Every structure is written in C-alpha cells, then in structure tokens.
C-alpha cells in the first residue's frame, strides 16, 4: 500500500534519510520505532507530501506520487489522515468545530449532516457528547482522541500517527493503542505509527521496523524482532545505556 524506495532526504545540510526502504502493508498496523532525531517524523512528512524526497520514490496504492498533478495530490492527501504528536487541535475552537473542520474544508455537507457525522466520530473514539468542550478542558488522552476523530472524518484509507503516546500516561497509552487497533479492524485502515514506546509498539503492531540513522536496520513481526540478534536493535529494545547504539 505504501512503498518507500531508496528515499534520500537532506535537511539542514545533513542526510536524514539514507536510501530508506519501507513497505507498509495494506490494512495492517506498521510501527516504525527509533530514537529521537533519527528521521521518524520526516518519514511522515514525506508521505503526507509536506516535503519532497531528494532521491527515491514514494508509491501509494501503486502510484508514484511524484507523477501526480496538484489536484491529484490534494485528493491523495484527503485519503491520508494524520494524528500529530501534540494533537494540534485549534485551541480557540470547540471540540465540535475542530472535528467538523475537515468536512467544512472538503465537503459541501449542511449543518445537520455535519452535526450527525461529528457525533458519530466522537462516539467512535470514545468521547460521545463532548462537542461543546474546549481543548483546554480536555486531558492529553482526550485531546489525542479528538485529533483522531478529526483525522478520520474524511474516511481515510491510511492513518499516520506521530508518537501517539507522547505526553500520555501508561493507561491512556494502552487505550490509544486499542483505538488504533479498532481503526484497523473496523475500518480496514492502513496504519503507520511512529513510536518510541516499546511496550505499546509490540502490542499493537503487525509489523515493526527499527529506524536507525535514516535507515531501517531490522523489521518483522514483534516476535521476530525480539529474537533478532542485531546488537543496535537489542540495545534499543532493552534500553541499555552501553552498546553500539
Ligand atoms: N527543517 C529542518 N531543517 C533542518 N534540520 C531538520 C529539519 N527538520 C528536521 N531536522 C533534523 O532532522 C533530524 C530528523 O528529524 P525528525 O524526523 O523530526 O526526527 P524524529 O522524529 O525521529 O525525532 C533531526 O536531527 C532534526 O534536527
Ligand atoms: Mg518526531
């Protein structure tokens, strides 16, 4: 479904992604884990089309995105939902207005239909009846859920999550992980999750990839990664301070 082929990306004069190869299978949850600054968010920005690669190809559903015209690119972006690291809600807008935003931008739906869709999405993410609340009234986990509700509003085929656990306590992290699994199981959404939370990654992932210095150095099922002898991977998995990492 999403294929990154030999992607290079330079930022600030440094090679951040170095001939990166990544395959994200359809209808599954793929987790890319890796330390801070290794290029995780950069991968998502490339897939979203916010930035373009210096070399290599991004293929989504069999289409090389560099061949798309402006209109086709916008269509593609609508099919991709993004959950940002810090929720990125509009603070001056209610939950209702936040979640309704994509519908107002991209559809001609009338207010009653919007109201119905917002209520439905808020229920789906476990926050029924919270339309009138403001972001400042919400906990970190609730904000994240509202962000997910907004992101799935246009029924994306692909959802990208940038460190969905950041700033959340362990219990809320588990709940967000369950929500991601529901998106996979109920809507068949292809999920790409960037994470540094090992326990959560190993629980929700169908496939795990370890990013290290702009390359995937190990990938496979959670179980196969546990058994993979790569010393950098093993150091990361066990959080050891000594080693090649
Ligand atoms: N616009 C930019 N200009 C220069 N350097 C950048 C820019 N964006 C990111 N970087 C650098 O690229 C590296 C990877 O960034 P990022 O993908 O955000 O890492 P991660 O999400 O894995 O923490 C970091 O070292 C970061 O400082
Ligand atoms: Mg990041």
Tell whether 244 and 213 lie within a shared domain. yes
Q: Residue 166 has what pLDDT?
A: 85
CB 151 within 8 A of CB 159: yes
Neighbours of 159 (CB within 10 A): 22
Tell whether 221 and 164 lie within a shared domain. yes
Tell whether 199 and 217 lie within a shared domain. yes
Ligand 1, closest atom to CA 162? 21
Count: domains in the chain: 2
Give me ligand 1 centre to Cα 213, in Å. Answer: 11
Residue in 17, 39, 212 to alter for ligand 1 test, most ligand atoms within 8 A of Cβ: 39
Q: Residue 172 has what pLDDT?
A: 86
Q: Which one of the ligands is nearest to 39 CA?
A: 1
Tell whether 233 and 176 lie within a shared domain. yes
Of 100, 123, 155, the residue that ends a domain is 155
Residues 226, 244: Cα–Cα separation, whole Å: 17
Helix axes 140-151, 170-187, angle to 10 degrees: 20
Closest by CA position to 77, among listed 88, 68, 86:
68
Tell whether 137 and 243 lie within a shared domain. no
Tell whether 75 and 163 lie within a shared domain. yes
Q: Residue 142 has what pLDDT?
A: 92
Q: What is the four-CA torsion angle of 30, 35, 179, 29, rounded to 10 degrees?
A: 0
In a domain, 86, yes or no: no
Q: Residue 200 has what pLDDT?
A: 84
Q: Which residue's C-alpha comes closest to atom 4 of ligand 1?
A: 12
Q: Would you give per-residue pLDDT tens digits along the chain (245 residues)?
A: 999 999 999 999 999 999 999 999 999 999 999 988 999 999 999 999 999 999 999 999 999 999 999 999 988 988 999 988 877 899 999 999 999 999 999 899 999 999 999 999 999 899 999 999 999 999 999 999 999 999 999 999 999 999 998 888 888 889 899 999 999 999 999 999 999 888 888 899 999 999 999 999 999 999 999 999 999 999 998 888 888 88
What's the sign of the alpha-carbon dihedral 62, 63, 66, 72? negative
Q: What is the four-CA torsion angle of 61, 67, 69, 72, rounded to 10 degrees?
A: 0
Q: Domain range holding 238?
A: 1-79+159-245
Q: Which residue's C-alpha comes closest to atom 13 of ligand 1?
A: 37
Kindly give the residue spans of alpha helices, DSSP state H, lying in 152-229. 170-187, 198-204, 222-227
pTM of the predicted model over 0.75: yes
Tell whether 135 and 174 lie within a shared domain. no
Strands (E), the chain: 2-11, 14-24, 29-33, 55-60, 63-64, 80-83, 158-162, 190-195, 207-212, 215-220
Of 155, 175, 190, the residue that ends a domain is 155
Residues 122, 129: Cα–Cα separation, whole Å: 7
Could you tell me the CATH number of the domain that includes residue 53?
Answer: 3.40.50.300
Residues 25, 207: Cα–Cα separation, whole Å: 9
Tell whether 47 and 145 lie within a shared domain. no
Tell whether 197 and 244 lie within a shared domain. yes
- At 17, give phi and psi (nearest 5°): -115, 130
Tell whether 169 and 243 lie within a shared domain. yes
Tell whether 242 and 174 lie within a shared domain. yes
Tell whether 133 and 100 lie within a shared domain. yes
């Amino acid at each position: 479904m999403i294929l990154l082929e030999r992607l290079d990306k330079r930022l600030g004069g440094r090679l951040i992604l170095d001939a990166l190869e990544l395959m994200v299978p359809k209808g599954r949850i793929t987790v890319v884990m890796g330390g801070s600054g290794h290029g995780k968010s950069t991968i998502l920005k490339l897939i979203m089309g916010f930035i373009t690669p210096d070399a290599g190809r991004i293929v989504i559903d069999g289409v090389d995105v560099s061949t798309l015209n402006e209109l086709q690119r916008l269509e593609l972006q609508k099919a991709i939902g993004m959950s940002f690291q810090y929720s990125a809600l509009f603070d001056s807008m209610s939950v209702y207005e936040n979640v309704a935003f994509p519908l107002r931008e991209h559809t001609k739906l009338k207010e009653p239909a919007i109201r119905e869709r917002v209520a439905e999405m808020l229920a789906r993410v476990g926050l029924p009846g919270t339309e009138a609340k403001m972001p400042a009234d919400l906990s970190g986990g609730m904000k994240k859920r509202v962000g997910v509700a907004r992101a799935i509003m246009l029924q994306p085929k692909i959802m990208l999550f940038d460190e969905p656990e950041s700033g959340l306590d362990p219990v809320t992290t588990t709940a967000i992980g369950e929500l991601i699994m529901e998106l996979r199981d109920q809507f068949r959404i292809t999920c790409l999750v960037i994470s540094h939370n090992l326990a959560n990654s190993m629980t929700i992932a169908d496939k795990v990839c370890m990013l290290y210095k702009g390359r995937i150095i190990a990938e496979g099922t959670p179980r196969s990664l546990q058994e993979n002898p790569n010393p950098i991977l093993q150091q990361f998995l066990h959080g050891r301070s000594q080693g090649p990492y």
